[in-house]
A = this chain, B = another copy of it.
Amino acid sequence: MAKMNKVRMGMVGGGEGAFIGAVHRHALALDGQIELVCGAFSRDNQNNQRTGDSLGLDDNRVYSSWETLLTAELALPEDERMQALIIVTPNHLHVPISIAAIEAGFHVFCEKPAAISLDEAQVLKSKLKQSDVLYGLAHTYLGYPMVWQAQHMVTSGLLGNIRKVYVEYPQGWLSANEESHNKQASWRTDPAQSGGSGAMGDIGTHAFGLVEFVLQQQVTSLCADLQTHVDGRRLDDDGAALIRTDGGASGVLIASQVCAGEENALKIRVYGDKGAIEWQQMEPNSIIHRPLGEPYRVFRAGMGQPGLCEDASARCRTPAGHPEGYLEAMANLYGYFAKAINAAKAAELTISELGKAPGVPGIDSGLRGMAFIDAMLTSSDSETKWHSVPNTK
């Protein structure tokens, strides 16, 4: 067995007061396979320094801007320089930074959404195609073991022909106006920083991505009703859609950030002619399976649990009954991402030879998300019932 080499990563964004940066740092650290070596955490210089200090980084690797970071790291010896860049800035910077990193030859792990428009996402995809860079997108929920189990139960035919899918993602934290909130709320509801959609971009894409991932089908058309419930807010904070897939399934997608009192209640239910499954993020270690005509049963996450598929088992760190959660889900994405980087390096292959990092959502997921947002916005403004979701393949 070869010695494990920690993958060196840098981070843009994620200074004090940001939510998701810290989440990424916990997630990358959890398995001890990745080391954070540098960062440009905030355009506020003091915040940037404090964040670097709190992480124990060398002063000379806490950079004042992402441009400086890229230049300076590139100048370091190869065995010292960061190997991948984590992007946790507001949305509008995702593509510009991604492209600069790709051009500098760094792998990229980006918070979602990949871009703020479908066009921008396509530009990014072209760029990636011409590069040897690995690109991962933080569709965190796709790191949960039981989401892989759900996919397995669907694609193995256990549920028969899929008829219905209901996905919902109610949150309540934007029930009141932005002033009563932190800076999270403010940039997320600013079109210039967030893109053309609020709730759909922020959480609708998760719901949509979950459907396509679990079913391994594409949503081909939808009929949406988006709304903005809080005075003065400039983007949608709520919406729902009827949906249809290329596999003949239909259903409903709900995503709202004004569901007072709801925390983060992403949930998916899939019904086939032989049975059904149900998974919810807030109790992520269980899947309910309803075989037609039999008592329902509950599959539980955990190393070596009966009935778990290999993809699910491989994403568990503890025996059943020792709950794993959100940070572990994201750590799973980082784990496979780091593994792919090491594999590429060990085999002296380029990434394009290696292919995408298995187990990590990539730019194609990003394109799907942008196509979804586009279709939702168009549909909601239209008097016509069905709108197609562009095929991004």
Copy tally for this chain in the complex stands at 4
Say yes or no for A252: interface residue by CB 8 A criterion.
yes
Contacts A29-B29, A54-B4, A382-B385: A276 and B260 contacting too (C-beta < 8 A)? yes
Number of interface residues of A (CB under 8 A): 100
Chain A 243-266 interface 0/1 with B at a Cβ cutoff of 8 Å (1 = within): 010000011101010111111110
Interface centre among A5, A171, A294, by most chain B C-beta atoms within 10 angstroms, is A294
| 7 A-B pairs closest in CB distance | A261-B290, A263-B321, A264-B321, A323-B325, A322-B326, A297-B297, A4-B56
Q: Judging by beta carbons under 8 Å apart, are B294 and A306 in contact?
A: yes
A250 to B258: give the CA distance in the assembly, Å: 12
Chain B positions within 8 Å of A299 at CB level? 295
A-B contact pairs, 14 of them (CB 8 A): A2-B53, A3-B53, A4-B56, A6-B56, A26-B30, A164-B238, A172-B271, A240-B252, A256-B271, A261-B271, A263-B321, A295-B306, A324-B325, A324-B327
User: B256 contacts A254, CB within 8 Å?
Assistant: no
Quick one: which of B4, B5, B282, B292 contacts A323, CB cutoff 8 A?
A: B282
Query: In the assembled complex, which residues on chain B have CB atoms less than 8 Å from the CB atom of A223?
Result: 223, 225, 242, 385
A319 touches B56 (CB 8 A): no
Kindly identify which residue among B5, B229, B307 contacts A294, using a CB–CB cutoff of 8 Å. Answer: B307
Q: What is the CA–CA distance of A171 and B353 in the complex, to the nearest angstrom?
A: 47
Q: Give complex CA distance A229, B384 in Å.
A: 25
With A and B bound together, what is the CA distance between A361 and B234 in angstroms? 42
**Stretch of A17-25, A98-106, A129-137, A209-217 with 4 or more beta carbons under 8 angstroms from chain B:** A17-25
Give bound CA distance, A5 to B53, whole Å.
Answer: 9
Q: Kindly state the separation between the CA atoms of A385 and B163 in the bound complex, as whole angstroms.
A: 23
Chain B residues whose C-beta falls within 8 Å of the C-beta of A196 in the assembled complex: none
Judge whether A272 and B284 touch: CB under 8 Å: no
CA–CA, A284 to B382, complex, Å?
A: 39
Pairwise interchain contact A240-B251, C-beta atoms closer than 8 A:
yes
Task: Write the A190-234 contact mask toward B (1 if CB under 8 angstroms, else 0).
Answer: 000000000000000000000000000000000101010100000
The answer to whether the Cβ of A320 comes within 8 Å of any Cβ in the partner chain is yes
Measured between beta carbons, the chain B residues less than 8 angstroms from A1 are 50, 53-54
Q: Is the CB of B295 within 8 A of A23?
A: no
Of B30, B50, B259, B275, which one neighbours A164 at CB under 8 angstroms? Answer: B259
A72 at the interface (CB under 8 A from B): no
**Contact with A292, one of B172, B269, B272, B273 (Cβ below 8 angstroms):** B172
Q: Is A70 part of the contact surface with B, judged by Cβ < 8 Å?
A: no
Identify the closest chain B residue to A244 (Cβ): B225
| Residue contact A319 to B4, C-beta cutoff 8 Å | no
Residue of B nearest to A272 (CB): B260
| A358 on the B face (CB < 8 A) | no
C-alpha spacing A299/B269, complex, angstroms:
20
Q: Which of B225, B241, B252, B273 contacts A250 (CB 8 A)?
A: B225
Q: B residues within 8 A CB of A325?
A: 322-325, 328
